[in-house]
Each structure stands twice: as C-alpha cells, then as structure tokens.
Amino acid sequence: MKQPWDIFCNVVDNFGDIGVCWRLARQLTHEHGLAVRLWVDDLASFTRIAPDADPVADRQRLQGVEVCHWQQPFAGAEPADVVIEAFACELPEAYIAAMAALPQRPVWINLEYLSAENWVTGCHRLPSPHPRLPLIKYFFFPGFVAGTGGLLREQGLLSARSAFDKVAQSEFWQRLGIPARRAGELRISLFCYGSAPLRDLLAAWAASTAPVSVLLPVPQGAVVDAVADFFVVESPAAGEVLQSGQLTVHLIPFLEQSEYDKLLWACDINFVRGEDSFVRAQWVARPFVWQIYPQADNAHQVKLDAFLDLYTAGMPADMAAAVRALWHGWNGAGQPGNTWPAFAAHQAALAQHGENWAEQLNRLGDLASNLVRFSRNQI
C-alpha cells in the first residue's frame, strides 16, 4: 500500500507557490511511489500550468496525483501519514484536530520559502511543538548549501536538458511558430512581475547592435500592458509579433511546466521571477536574471543580496559587478538598460559559471528525496 501524503497550497504568487507544489506532488508520486493529495485553493491559477485540470472539480486525478479543491469551510478529510504545509499556509483547524486524534500522529512539515540567508541552516528541520495539541511541526527549508533541503530536481531533468539538442530546439521553435535564428541573434525568455522596469530594458534591447528576440508567455497582465505601451499597440495577444529597432517580441501562449522548461533550455538568457521559475533557471546552466517577489519595506532586497553573495562567489570581479548591477536594477534599484550591455558581454562566461553552479547544487540531493528521507526518520 502506498504511503499517503497531503500537500496544502495556498496560491499567493499566482504561479510560484502552485508551481513548486505541483512539481513536488508529481515527483513524490512518480519517483517515490507515494499516494499524494494536493490541496489547492485556486484552481484557476493551477490550470495555467496544468491545462488538463478542471477548474471547477472538487476532486480530480492528474498524472497520478489526486488534486482537491481546498475550500472554506473545509469539508474534512482523513489526515495522511505525512502532511506538507507549503509556505506557512496554515492548515484547516478541523484537519489539525483530526491529526491530533490519530493514535499515530502524522509527520507535519512546514515547507518554507526558498532563501539563501545565513540563518536558514540553523532553522532547517527544527521541531515546533503545538501549543495545545500533541503534535510537532518541523520546519524544512529548501536551499543552496549543505544543511538545507536542496532544490526540486526530477531524476531525469539534467539528462533531458542535455538531450535537448539543436534538432529538438528547432522542433520546439517550430511548434511555437518562431522563425529560425538570424545571424548573431540573442534569444531571451521573459517572465516577470508588473513592477519590473520593463520599458528601460526594452529600449536597451531595441538599440542593441545585434538582433534580440524576446519570448513573452501571456497572459502576464501588467507586463503585457507595459509591452503594449512601449510598442504603442492595444491589447496584444499570443501569436502576435512586435518590433522596434533590433528588438522583436514574440507573444507566445502560457506554457505548461515541461514546455516552459524547454523554453528555458532553448533561450540564451532567461528572466525569471518568484521561486519556481527561479529554480528551473538554475538547472538550465545559462545566464539568468531573477526578479524576487516584492515585499514591504524592501525586505526582499536582503534575500536578493544573500543569493547574489552565494551565486557570484568565485566570479571575476567585473562579471560579478555586472550581474549585481543588472539584478539590482531589475529589482528597482537602478536602470537595467544602462547595465544590460556589461551583463550581455559576459554571456559565455556566465554560461560556464552556470554549469559549475548546477553541479554544486546537484551535490545537495534533491528536495523531494530529502523530504522523503526526513519524514521516514520521524515515523
């Protein structure tokens, strides 16, 4: 009999929270033989990355995972052996009471947000007894260094990336209706928040000395509005192509996760946001630019710098400075258009650095396997 796991996901970042939880649920099912229920409060966002999902079904089975609509009030369910509270989403009180009533209490894990801050290793796997009930919740932190839970990575991900050769890339571009590369063309995927200083970067790309093609999955709300404003067009949709100077923007359909991975593999530089696409970009081993989820009082800048400290360690000083300048500008502390040329000049060296960085991350083990190992030690 398969061991049952429950994963609870409260969708906050539209695609980041559910993106992580959906990848985790599938990996636990397919690679570890577990019976996983994924509780999601926003099925509409879920269907963007899982187009086969029914946005109104209370329960459905997708790729071996039972997907349940997490509604208020909570209808009740028998707790699983292992319960993942993703990103401190707060389990329903009735579910917590049901866990406490079991003779064998579940392993309760709060899967935390990804952070590179130094304090994470001191808090990883710490127990937190419930103030009233005979339950213990454990904090589990993904991370980039030893002493954390590592990152999500399916067993075949790196080999699939390596097998994605020029022929596979050509077939991928044909499916999206993207023409063959022009001589010297730079291809960039763009996934960002509406707060990104996009106009400044679009202007820099339009004035580039080499052709720049940007792949923009839609819908992205305010992002598409900013692109439309730059090109002085109204309501562009998937399939449209916009051009200014050396810049061509291809609006493409929003991709399910495996296709989005291929987009990252096929592009030269990837702009990513939040947590899910941020992690996937690191396994690609190509230059990337991260827009962190904005927080009040600029608290996110501390997290951004903590990651940059790790990621740029060992880089030549000029390359590290170019990365920091563009990333800070893209996250609201400067003008990214001014810092783009220096970053682009290091493209080849950043790709090699990305290979080394991915190898370093790979040595930590993957998050799903580390979660399974930890949970079995608690039972």
Residues 274 and 210 placed together within one structural domain of the fold: yes
Q: What is the CATH number of the domain that holds 282?
A: 3.40.50.2000
- DSSP E strand stretches across the chain: 4-9, 35-40, 59-62, 65-69, 82-86, 107-111, 127-129, 136-140, 186-190, 212-218, 241-244, 247-253, 269-273, 288-291
- CB-CB contact of 304 with 324 (8 Å): no
> pLDDT value at position 183?
95
User: Which residues constitute the domain of residue 259?
Assistant: 157-362
Q: What does the block give as tokens for 56?
A: 């109104």
Q: What does the block give as tokens for 127?
A: 């127990």
For residues 163 and 262, what is the distance between their CA atoms, to the nearest angstrom? 11
Residues 197 and 217 placed together within one structural domain of the fold: yes
Residues 309 and 164 placed together within one structural domain of the fold: yes
Please tell me the total count of domains within the chain.
2
For residues 322 and 303, what is the distance between their CA atoms, to the nearest angstrom? 19
Q: What rounded mean pLDDT belongs to the chain?
A: 95
For residues 17 and 39, what is the distance between their CA atoms, to the nearest angstrom? 12
Residues 102 and 204 placed together within one structural domain of the fold: no
Residues 299 and 256 placed together within one structural domain of the fold: yes
> pLDDT value at position 13?
66
- CB-CB contact of 257 with 22 (8 Å): yes
Residues 279 and 315 placed together within one structural domain of the fold: yes
> pLDDT value at position 14?
64
> pLDDT value at position 242?
98
For residues 266 and 280, what is the distance between their CA atoms, to the nearest angstrom? 13
Residues 99 and 184 placed together within one structural domain of the fold: no
Residues 136 and 236 placed together within one structural domain of the fold: no
For residues 186 and 269, what is the distance between their CA atoms, to the nearest angstrom? 8
For residues 176 and 170, what is the distance between their CA atoms, to the nearest angstrom? 10
From the number of C-beta atoms within 10 Å of its C-beta (0-12, 13-18, 19+), residue 32 rates as middle
Residues 53 and 87 placed together within one structural domain of the fold: yes
> pLDDT value at position 85?
97
Q: What residues of the chain score a pLDDT lower than 70?
A: 1, 13-14
Residues 270 and 342 placed together within one structural domain of the fold: yes
Residues 147 and 201 placed together within one structural domain of the fold: no
> pLDDT value at position 350?
98
Q: Which residues belong to the active site?
A: 17, 275
Residues 351 and 371 placed together within one structural domain of the fold: no
